[in-house]
Chain A
Amino acid sequence: MPSLTLLGQAVVSGLLAGGIYGLLALGLSLSWGLLRLVNLAHFALALLGAYLTYQLGTSLHAPAWLAVLAIVPAFFVLGMGFHAVFAYFRVTEFASLLVTFGVAVIIESVIQWFWTADYRRYETAYATASLRVGPLFVPTLELLACLTAAVLALATWAWLRFSYVGKALRASAEDPAMAAAFGVNHRRQAFLLSGVSAAYAGIAGAFIALISTLAPAQIWAWLGVVFAVVIIGGLANPIGALLAGLLIGVSESLTMAVVTPAWAPLVSFSVLIVILIARPDRV
């Protein structure tokens, strides 16, 4: 029987891993729910952000927060650029899957071109720092990532809920024709949202650089689990994405602690299947 400390530690670890899932899911959920854009390139952007953080940190010795300050506006512009292309060609939901897949492959190739396929690890002095809470240890970086995810999720929720832009976006997603009739300029807000979504990928990327290890093919490693998180959380629902991330993270982590790590996906995805079949309207 696993000790209470072990269980507690597993829950902490799962929550923190779930925070990263939530962080990655956030931007994806927004663009899918509000722009009807299934953005496979989101993962590639996140990894690109990670490599840039790594590069700025190792060659210019820029601290990670400085890297984030540089990456966020750059990615924001990049995201708006993407949207310009998508809007110009009126890309549909299904076609967006192909286009963003192509973009992801190109970004993967660019990463491999500049940084080779070899593993990269961003070593920092604080990489293994953690806080002690009673018998449990809370890794600082993961905690920071999780808190960032929470802050961004809340801020995004408030933005969509209370600001004119947010309301307009939600209205446009529900009924573009009606929103247009009320004079909502969907195009401008879509640019904004696309930029925000890309910027979130950049922020997630910075944390990936600090916490994880980098290789170009990692772009595809997050795909399954983050998609699951996005949909469990509900499209365009920032708080939902975060909670779903935490749910998957904790269920995986507890399986690892109590049963065996290799069975972890079975538990989290079975939970998902049961939720879907038993309570589809809750999703």
Chain B
Amino acid sequence: MMRAPWRSGFRGVLAGVLLVAFAATVVATPSGPPIRIGGTLALTGPLAPTALLHKIAGEIYVEELNKTNGLLGRPVEWVLLDDQSKPDVTRSLYEKLITVDKVDLLMGPYATSGILAAMGVAQRYGKVFVHHSFGMPHLAKYEMHFPTAAFGPEPNVTLPTTVYNAVAATANPPKTVAIVTSKFPSAQFQSAGARDVAEKRGLKVVLYLEYEFGNRDWGALAARVKDAKPDFLWIGSLGLDSNQLMEAMKKLDYTPPRHFHLFPAPGPLALSPEGKLALSSTVFEEHPPFTSNTGAARLIPLFHERATKANLPYPYVDTQVAGSLAAWQVLDAAVTATKSLDDKVLGQWLRTNRVDTIIGKLHFDGPNNYGEDLFKVKQVHDGKWVVVWPREFAPPGARLLPP
């Protein structure tokens, strides 16, 4: 990425020389002016921890594209800007990408607020807008936005249903639920749904608490959960909230019998002693059947290599990374199939076709361009995340372990 044009030109010449020298061998190397794909990520600021995963995912995908035949035979350049975790900066940078840098295609930023800010810009300029980390489907009204965070149109209903189904199928189904959630918009939205769904299913909600994004004192929260003694704890967590709350409960000599975590930082939770048998949701884990999804075999080792080099503590492909890779796959598939960079053509194609991605088949023909909810339930088994529900997605021998 960020390759200087002269260098691609040089590659073109080199390719020509090679072609003459080894007439029998055709080396597929992209040539011509690069296709420029513009986007921002929160490279600095509070959202930077997760945005880093999307940066690496995008980099390896673009490198892979350029190693083979680029897009439409042209090299691909990712114009990546830092939105500093601020939606207002995100908005103006997307305006910059479209009106000053004049990029050919767009890739979404990280997280709900930034995506909404950018979506407005994309809409005004009629640009196809593929994005990978949007948590509130009912707010996305633009007809040419294509989400790869495959929540389905109503994650506040479908996700809790999947989770409750999973725990209900065990030998010892929970009767009471405690819900503790961050006030972060998407987390609170889905956790409020978890409460409604629980009540509809006849589960007793013994505790429903919302805490501020950036909460510092976990002891009091832990004491309240302990006091409520739920059979099942739903934590609408972000990042390391989960670790903090689990540790705080542990300090009170309490571990909830079952605990689900909404958007945890996957590595720290899986690796910590409190993360034992933790439940969470996912669209992708590095085991069958997911590993046979499109691109998985090729992209997983690349991600391992790059993430290890970048000194990430948990260098595995999971929901965030896979969602990001899927977004690139969607853009790639649309351009390749239509042989076009025209937003109208691309948008039309995406709305009527299915795309094979690393997280499965995506389609964008439902309400607000959402397909169905692809999220599964995963659990920590021996320090590793394993999908346990629905059963057909679990690796051989794995099942939801009861407490």
Contacts and interface: CB of A to CB of B under 8 A. Distances in A.
B211 interface: yes
Interface stretch (A9-17, A37-45, A161-169, A197-205): A9-17
A215 B48 contact: yes
A121 B219 contact: no
A217 B273 CA distance: 26
B244 A212 contact: yes
A112 interface: yes
Given A116-B310, A127-B247, A215-B48, A261 B220 contact: yes
A260 to B, nearest CB: 6
Interface in A240-272: 249, 252-254, 256-257, 260-262, 264-265
B212 A264 contact: yes
A117 B219 contact: no
B51 interface: yes
Contacts of A14: 217, 219-220
A117 B52 contact: yes
B217 A252 contact: yes
B272 to A, nearest CB: 6
A121 B243 contact: yes
A221 interface: yes
B215 interface: yes
A14 B217 CA distance: 7
A118 B46 contact: no
Interface in A105-128: 109, 112, 115-121, 123, 127-128
Interface string A194-236: 0000000000000000001101110011100100000000000
A115 B239 CA distance: 17
Given A128-B250, A213-B243, A262-B212, A13 B49 contact: no
Interface string B82-113: 00010000000000000000000000000000
Contacts, number: 136
B43 interface: yes
A137 B252 contact: yes
Interface in B19-50: 43-46, 48-49
Interface string A114-146: 011111110100011110100001010010000
B185 to A, nearest CB: 13
B219 to A, nearest CB: 3
Contact of A13 (B223, B239, B247): B223
A257 B224 CA distance: 6
Given A119-B268, A130-B251, A137-B252, A215 B46 contact: yes
A160 B272 CA distance: 43
A121 B250 contact: no
A261 B312 contact: no
Interface residues of A, number: 49
Contacts of A117: 43-44, 48-49, 51-52
A225 B244 contact: no
Interface string A13-24: 110110000000
Contact of B220 (A5, A253, A265): A253
A213 B265 CA distance: 11
B268 A121 contact: yes
Nearest to A128: B250
A222 B215 CA distance: 10
A132 B239 contact: no
The A contact surface, by secondary structure, is helix
A256 B220 contact: yes
A6 interface: yes
A3 B227 contact: yes
A276 B219 CA distance: 28
Contacts of A132: 253
A112 B247 contact: no
Contacts of A17: 216-217, 219
A118 B252 contact: no
B221 A256 contact: yes
Nearest to A115: B311
A70 to B, nearest CB: 22
Nearest to B222: A13
B206 interface: no
A62 to B, nearest CB: 19
A109 B253 CA distance: 38
Given A10-B219, A16-B219, A221-B216, A119 B253 contact: no
Contacts of A12: 219
Contacts of B221: 256, 261
A183 interface: no
A9 B219 contact: yes
A137 B240 CA distance: 23
Contact of B251 (A119, A139, A216): A139
Contacts of B85: 217
A253 B219 contact: yes
A257 to B, nearest CB: 5
B356 interface: no
Interface of B: 43-46, 48-49, 51-52, 85, 183, 209-212, 214-217, 219-224, 226-227, 239-240, 243-244, 247-248, 250-253, 265, 268, 271-274, 310-313
Interface of A: 2-3, 5-6, 9-10, 12-14, 16-17, 109, 112, 115-121, 123, 127-130, 132, 137, 139, 142, 212-213, 215-217, 220-222, 225, 249, 252-254, 256-257, 260-262, 264-265
Given A117-B43, A264-B212, 18 more contacts: A13-B223, A13-B248, A16-B219, A116-B312, A117-B48, A118-B52, A118-B312, A119-B265, A213-B239, A215-B49, A216-B44, A217-B85, A252-B220, A261-B209, A261-B211, A261-B212, A261-B215, A265-B212
16 contacts: A9-B223, A13-B223, A112-B48, A118-B49, A119-B265, A128-B251, A128-B274, A139-B219, A217-B44, A217-B45, A249-B217, A253-B219, A257-B220, A260-B210, A261-B220, A261-B221
Top 5 nearest A-B pairs (CB, nearest first) are A13-B219, A117-B48, A256-B220, A261-B211, A9-B223
